[in-house]
Amino acid sequence: MIIRETDLKDNPATNSSTLPVSNFIRNIIEEDNRVGKWSGRVETRFPPEPNGYLHIGHAKSICLNFGLARDYNGICHLRFDDTNPEKEEQKYVDSILDSVRWLGFDWGKHLHYASDYFDKLYEFAEDLIHKGKAYVDDLTAEEIRALRGTLTEAGKNSPYRERTISENLDLFRRMKAGEFADGTHVLRAKIDMTSPNINLRDPVIYRIRRAHHHRTGDKWCIYPMYDYTHCISDALEKITHSLCTLEFEDHRPLYDWVLDQLKDVVLCHPQQIEFARLNLTYTVMSKRKLIELVEGGLVDGWDDPRMNTLAGVRRRGYTPESIHLFAERIGVSKADSWIDMSILEDCLREDLNERAPRRIAVLDPLKVVIDNYPENSEEECFAPNHPQKSEWGKRVVPLSKIIYIECNDFMEIPSKGYFRLSPGVEVRLRYAYIIKFVNVVKNVKGEILEIHCTYDPETKSGTVGAEKRKVKGNIHWLSAKHAQQARVRLYDRLFLHAHPDAGGGDYKASLNLHSKKIITAYVEPSLNQVQPEERFQFERHGYFIADRQDTEPGKPVFNRAVTLRDSWGKST
């Protein structure tokens, strides 16, 4: 099922308001508070792996975890799950911190790393061995997999499962001391190889990995597995509600088993609650695939504005407020569904319609000479900074004899219903005068070089009597003398198909080869000194942002964040 923007508009539960929208997780918290389960305490966490940049799916989890903590006067921890040193880098840590801050959330003193707990995790592993609940296995990964069984067939015990406690302790300590090669030994939880839940069939909880860790250096050559680390980290931080996506539902019995075995040394047992992850059309959510796009040179890095990473959507022009609105609008449920990209885009339009000043840009310029306009003359026209916000005032748009209009605002042989400039037709220059076509100048190839027109000096917008002359067409323009050149990047969706990785096919075959177009355009002179990340509505063209990296004083670079309306279905 795909949920589209039109499916949500008439649903009161998705309308933005100052009150949080109810969902099943809030209901659980309300009931916990009612019965005093956590003494009214709400403590959540967001636990990213520092092996890539966060994407829009993570934003849903960030808004949920931090939002719940905020609404219940609780605490949300930011904890890095840094248990896989071969894939983790400090640059990913930095990017994650930056993205969470950009979304407007603050973890305060509650910044943690799983590596903070490596000593404790090791101690607890020895405790499990002492209790006869863990053992060292010499089988290879392939042999373990072969004995694990299937969904319909029970697993088989490892021949090393019945080692003595003293033998297991000795081997585990020697693993820690670096006596064994990578892959030769693992520590496994001793649970039940016949369990219908494969996650409980003696899962590996420690493996040998000689890899430099970005925080602990070369101190450790054994590293704990996620399922073992995560629940203990939650407990040590006294998390109350451990929220994760549905793929971890089958892991919850293991989460609870580990904490039950350690209840005499780990005194908190958080509640794991699963919710449906975000599935967004025209994107891929797999971090592995995002890495392939970056490392394969198919995009311009992690912050390419076509990427669904938070760094990418930020550079594209999305606002934190639009992401919050999106997270609120799609809600939280237990049912998997697909959210149509149009919902995310419309949240941005809704936000920027209120906050973005209006400006004029001519993206595909056509030269127009106003024959009867005085030579070397110019005058000021006035345009509102926002049509619905008079308090924002007006700005000056200078006019001179030669102007630029959009190429598609002139048609030599107009089609039916075309009301812009054409032979025999008058149009109004927005905020200025009515002009009338005179003739067209072409080169030897028949290509249009310039248009000649005349103007009616009695029709200036805002003057007495100017509106008596009525014309159907109204086009935007810029004075050639005053317009500033700017580099403009027109972005579209990165993939042509709504489900680019459906059915296990090659998602790269669905790449939209025309998702990025760079042009030289003309903009209002005031935009020459635009600051990075300033946002505007370019009239008729959409919402644009000054690129946060490439914009320099006198050299503006604009990225189109979104068009004024969803034209994707019509253009593909």
- Per DSSP, the three-state class of 467 is helix
Q: Which two tokens stand for residue 462?
A: 């805002």
Q: Which two tokens stand for residue 516?
A: 């990025």
Beta bridge partners of 187: 136, 206
Identified catalytic residue from 207, 215, 277, 516: 277
Type of residue numbered 197: N
Q: What are phi and psi of 502, to 5 degrees?
A: -70, 145
277 catalytically annotated = yes
Residue in 15, 11, 551, 77 with CA at minimum distance from that of residue 325? 15
Query: What is the rounded CA–CA span in Å between residue 85 and residue 89?
Result: 8
- Per DSSP, the three-state class of 134 is strand
173 catalytically annotated = no
238 conformational bin, left if phi > 0, alpha if psi -120 to 50, beta if neither: left
Q: Which two tokens stand for residue 142?
A: 């392939």
Bridge pairing between strands 542-546 and 535-538: antiparallel
Helices and strands per DSSP (H, E), number in the chain: 14, 28
Identified catalytic residue from 37, 41, 49, 548: 49
CB atoms within 10 A of CB 540: 16
287 catalytically annotated = yes
Q: Give me the half-sphere count of Cα atoms (radius 13 Å) on the Cβ side of residue 471.
A: 24
Query: What is the rounded CA–CA span in Å between residue 345 and residue 368?
Result: 35
Q: Which two tokens stand for residue 44?
A: 């959540």
CB atoms within 10 A of CB 237: 20
Q: Are 65 and 58 in contact (CB under 8 A)?
A: no
Instruction: Report the Cα 279 to chain-centroid distance in Å.
Output: 12
Q: Are 4 and 11 in contact (CB under 8 A)?
A: no
Identified catalytic residue from 201, 287, 395, 460: 287
- Classify residue 217 by its DSSP letter: B
- Classify residue 367 by its DSSP letter: E
- Per DSSP, the three-state class of 157 is coil
Query: What is the rounded CA–CA span in Å between residue 302 and residue 296?
Result: 12
Query: What is the rounded CA–CA span in Å between residue 28 and residue 33?
Result: 9
Burial class (CB in 10 A: 0-12, 13-18, 19+), 132: exposed
Q: What share of the chain is helix, strand, coil (3-state, %, to 5)?
A: 30, 25, 45
Active-site residue list: 49, 277, 287
